[in-house]
Amino acid sequence: MNDVLNAAHARRPIRELPDELVSQIAAGEVVERPASVVRELVDNALDAGASQVTVKLEAGGVRRIVVEDDGIGIAPDELPLALKRHATSKIASLVELEQVSTMGFRGEALAAIASVAEVSIASRTADAAHAMRIDARSGELNPAARAVGTSIEVRELFFATPARRKFLKTDATELAHCVEAVRRHALVRPDVGFAVWHEGKLVEQWRSAGGLDDEAAYESRARAVLGEDFVAASRAVSIVAGPMRIRGRAGLPDAARSRADTQYVYVNGRFVRDKLIAHGVRSAYEDVLHGGRQPVYLLHIEIAPERVDVNVHPTKIEVRFRDGREVHQAVRRAVEAALALPRHGGDVAPASAQAAPTFAPAGHAAAPGVAPTWGPQSPLGLSTPRFDVNEPPGPWRFAGPLDTPATPASLPLAEAAPATIAAEADDWPLGRALAQLGGAYVLAENRHGLVIVDMHAAHERIVYERLKASLGAARIESQPLLIPATFAATPTEVATAEAQADALARLGLDIAPLSPGVLAIRARPAALAAGDVVELARSVLAELGRYDASGAIERAQHEILATMACHGAVRANRQLTHVEMNALLRDMEATERADQCNHGRPTWRQVTLKELDTLFLRGR
């Protein structure tokens, strides 16, 4: 102990650190675990223009990592340089540094890795007769066999630094981190094929999904990498805001997780972890997500290179923006706009609206004695405190100032209603959702006052119109079930299913006998993805049984659709999120005849501010 202290205090001459030690110190910043090596090597492969990248791992990458690519390769005389510190082919001047578009540019990754592991590189350029391999430790060059491209092998990570090796977790954990590193690349490069092998077994494989300008390619890659569930439970994000473009997907509040493990943000194609962006996203969810829940999202931010500095961190995972506030706001609006979209709507770029209070405008003359036209009951039991306790109104502030504190739930209504209701909300005929009442009604605010929506009736109407429209286009679009739903059927049901297979197909249903007395549902209408599929099948079979001559079925079609719509519509007493309520309102606006349900009942009513004033005997 004393020796250590004495050594620390004893005067020693100043010396330049040996190169090897400099690299090892630098490696501490770049190479934390096998996944860091994977990230750097895949970066290099992509910078080399690879169209296929294969990662092979042993013991979670601790024993061995090989990354193979079909990129441009390294010329034999440059192989020793590739391993030198601050040697790079990517930038040659400060001007280039400011415009850098490659993943790497600091020229230190390979040197750092080679200082803490056994490294060899085999590479071949297009004009070379064969490949050459260099061993990093000995510097020896030998001919090797491989096609054009590069293979980099990294063995025994931290072999010489046992203290660092001790910090590594189990192989399974290190493997998971390595796969995550590849996943981060894969999400932003749908044009490149990726494969990950562990101990000779294929762990993940994503084939090239199309060009980089092809939005569908990104979506199909997201589907492959993050799963069908992620895409199904998220909305498309797409806005252009000043010098920025933001695309991707934002998860619905229901898809939020307890861990922040499905949050992918890319700035100019580079995966980043940025507090400012994370906060911007988070604030878009502030009214719809409970404290501890973590939203899921995948955002690609493109911004003029001179407005962002990527050279602030050795692993380039952090960036610095010239105007952070501008980025924060754009991210927040992009996500808010995505969440407020109707489910089947297109993408809307939100206008940057200035705050315009629509609540309680002055100048509403009192009209004492005029009974409200919206119904027999008086104030609907709509007392202010009930409004306030759980759901402070004003969830959709598109243009709120950056530092608006979250609205405390205890504020009285008048103060809680933000003065920053954006112009978009103003333009929505049915307004923006405020709350759900009695499990059956959605309350919304528009420029005229209060909108009350019967949520089941409204949704039924939307589903019905959607079904009708798709039946008009020959047949209802159907969606296969991943796992067929089976149910015990009566002989009549089985007979109807067999006799009416064509009619069922037209209705978007695939129902066929599986065994005596059991029917299997293999597909259902895409528009009815939410309801109970067995219940739906049963009532459609019952309807078809009633009209079994095919002409009658044609004529009874709309009744059958109405039955189906009723099954697909949201049930009363289901708690809707703000996002769902707003989506319902937008869907209603987009649907023909949305003001009447299939049974002829109204789906919504307007209560004007004037009527409210009258109710409260408020003279002006």
* Options 68-76, 184-192, 319-327, 465-473: segment touching ligand ADP (CB under 6 A): 68-76
Strands, DSSP E only, in 169-253? Answer: 193-198, 201-206, 234-241, 244-251
Least gap, CB of 31 to ligand ADP (angstroms): 12
What single-letter DSSP state applies at residue 574? P
Q: How far is the CB of 103 from Mg ion (least distance, A)?
A: 6
Among 107, 242, 269, 314, binds ligand ADP (CB under 6 A): 107
HSE (side-chain half, CA atoms, 13 Å) at 492: 10
- Alpha-carbon dihedral 422, 424, 426, 428, rounded to 10 degrees: -150
Q: Which residue, judged by CB position, is nearest to Mg ion in the bound state?
A: 104
- Whether the CB-CB separation of 206 and 194 falls below 8 Å is answered with yes
Stretch that binds ligand ADP, among 7-15, 39-47, 271-279, 454-462 (CB under 6 A): 39-47
Indicate which single residue of 71, 251, 431, 525 sits in contact with ligand ADP (rule: CB under 6 A).
71
Nearer to Mg ion, 104 or 394 (CB): 104
Q: Which of 51, 89, 486, 596 binds ligand ADP (CB under 6 A)?
A: 89
- Judge whether 569 and 460 are in contact, CB under 8 Å: yes
Q: Could you say which of Mg ion, ligand ADP, none residue 442 binds, taking C-beta under 5 to 8 angstroms by partner kind?
A: none
DSSP 257: B
DSSP letter for each residue of 464-498: HHHHHHHHHTSS--EEEEEEEEEEE--HHHHHHHH
Q: Which one among 34, 60, 76, 104 touches ligand ADP, defined by CB under 6 A?
A: 104
Minimum CB separation from ligand ADP for residue 191, in Å?
A: 17
Strand partners of residue 267: 270, 301
Nearer to Mg ion, 192 or 519 (CB): 192
DSSP-derived secondary structure letter, 16: P
Footprint of ligand ADP on residues 150-169 (CB under 6 A)? 150
> Minimum distance between the CB of residue 36 and ligand ADP, rounded to whole angstroms?
12
Q: How far is the CB of 95 from ligand ADP (least distance, A)?
A: 17
In this structure, are strands 263-267 and 297-303 parallel, antiparallel, or unpaired? parallel
Report the distance separating Cα 555 and Cα 33, nearest Å: 68
Shortest Cβ 156–ligand ADP spacing (Å): 19
**Residue 465 · residue 590 · CB < 8 Å:** no
- HSE-CB at 224 with a 13 A cutoff on CA atoms is 23
* 90/475 with CB nearer ligand ADP: 90
Shortest reach from residue 32's CB to ligand ADP, in Å: 16
Query: Are the C-beta atoms of 141 and 76 separated by less than 8 Å?
Result: yes
Residue 69 as a binder of ligand ADP (CB under 6 A): the answer is: yes
Q: Which stretch binds ligand ADP (CB under 6 A): 82-90, 174-182, 239-247, 591-599?
A: 82-90
The DSSP result for 426-461, as a single string, is: HH-TT-EEEEEETTTEEEEEETTEEEEEEHHHHHHH
Give 591's Cβ-side CA count (13 Å radius).
29
CB-side exposure of 538: number of CA atoms within 13 Å? 13
Q: According to CB under 6 A, which one of 26, 30, 35, 45 is a site residue for ligand ADP?
A: 45
Neighbours of 162 (CB within 10 A): 8
For 232, phi then psi, to 5°, come to -65, -35
Q: Can you tell me which of 109, 134, 239, 562 binds ligand ADP, judged by CB under 6 A?
A: 109
Partner interacting with residue 120 (select from ligand ADP, Mg ion, none; CB below 5-8 Å by kind): none
Structure tokens at 567: 């099954």
Report CA torsion sign: 6, 12, 17, 20.
Answer: negative
Closer CB to Mg ion, 74 or 434, in the complex:
74
Instruction: Report the Cα–Cα distance between both ends of the chain, in Å, rounded.
Output: 84
Listed ranges 28-36, 69-77, 200-208, 240-248: which one lies at the site for ligand ADP (CB under 6 A): 69-77
DSSP 196: E
- Which CB sits closer to ligand ADP, 197 or 487? 197
The alpha carbons of the chain give a radius of gyration, in whole angstroms, of 31
Answer for which of 62, 65, 74, 277 binds ligand ADP (CB under 6 A) is 74
Nearest distance, CB of residue 34 and ligand ADP, angstroms: 16
Figure out which of the listed residues 110, 256, 303, 533 binds ligand ADP, where binding follows CB under 6 A: 110
- Candidates 41-49, 304-312, 431-439, 480-488: pick the segment binding ligand ADP (CB under 6 A): 41-49
Interaction of residue 339 with ligand ADP, rule CB under 6 A: no
SS3 assignment for 68-134: EECCCCCCHHHHHHHCCCCCCCCCCCHHHHHCCCCCCCCCCHHHHHHHHCEEEEEEECCCCCCEEEE
Candidates 38, 62, 82, 544; binder of ligand ADP (CB under 6 A) is 82
CA distance 117 to 192: 28
Nearest residue (CB) to Mg ion, 43 versus 613: 43
Contacts with ligand ADP by CB under 6 A: the residue count is: 24
Q: How far is Cα 364 from Cα 342, in angstroms, rounded to an integer?
A: 32
Residue 61 interface partner, choices Mg ion, ligand ADP, none, CB cut-off 5-8 Å depending on type: none
* Smallest separation (angstroms) from ligand ADP to the CB of 513: 57
Q: Residue 35 binds what, of ligand ADP, Mg ion, none (CB under 5 to 8 Å, by partner type)?
A: none
Q: Tell me the closest approach of the beta carbon of residue 91 to ligand ADP, in angstroms.
A: 8
Distance between CA 177 and CA 35 in Å, rounded? 5
Q: Which of 23, 44, 446, 603 binds ligand ADP (CB under 6 A)?
A: 44
Report the residue closest to ligand ADP, judged by CB. Answer: 104
106 binds, among ligand ADP, Mg ion, none (CB under 5 to 8 A by kind): ligand ADP
Instruction: Give the residue with the Cβ less far from Mg ion, 43 or 460.
Output: 43
The binder of 90, among Mg ion, ligand ADP, none, by C-beta within 5 to 8 A per type, is ligand ADP
Q: How far is CA 574 from CA 137, 184, 232, 382, 393, in A?
A: 66, 37, 20, 19, 20
CA distances from 602 to 29, 453, 455 (A): 65, 9, 11
Among 37, 105, 316, 584, binds ligand ADP (CB under 6 A): 105
579 binds, among Mg ion, ligand ADP, none (CB under 5 to 8 A by kind): none
Measure the CA–CA gap between 477 and 338, rounded to whole angstroms.
24
The residues of the shown chain that bind Mg ion, judged by CB under 5 A, are 43-44, 104, 109
285 is in the binding site of which of Mg ion, ligand ADP, none (Cβ under 5 to 8 A by kind)?
none
Using CB under 6 A as the binding rule, whether residue 134 contacts ligand ADP is answered as no
Contact residues for ligand ADP, defined by CB under 6 A: 40, 44-45, 47-48, 69, 71-74, 82, 87-90, 104-111, 150
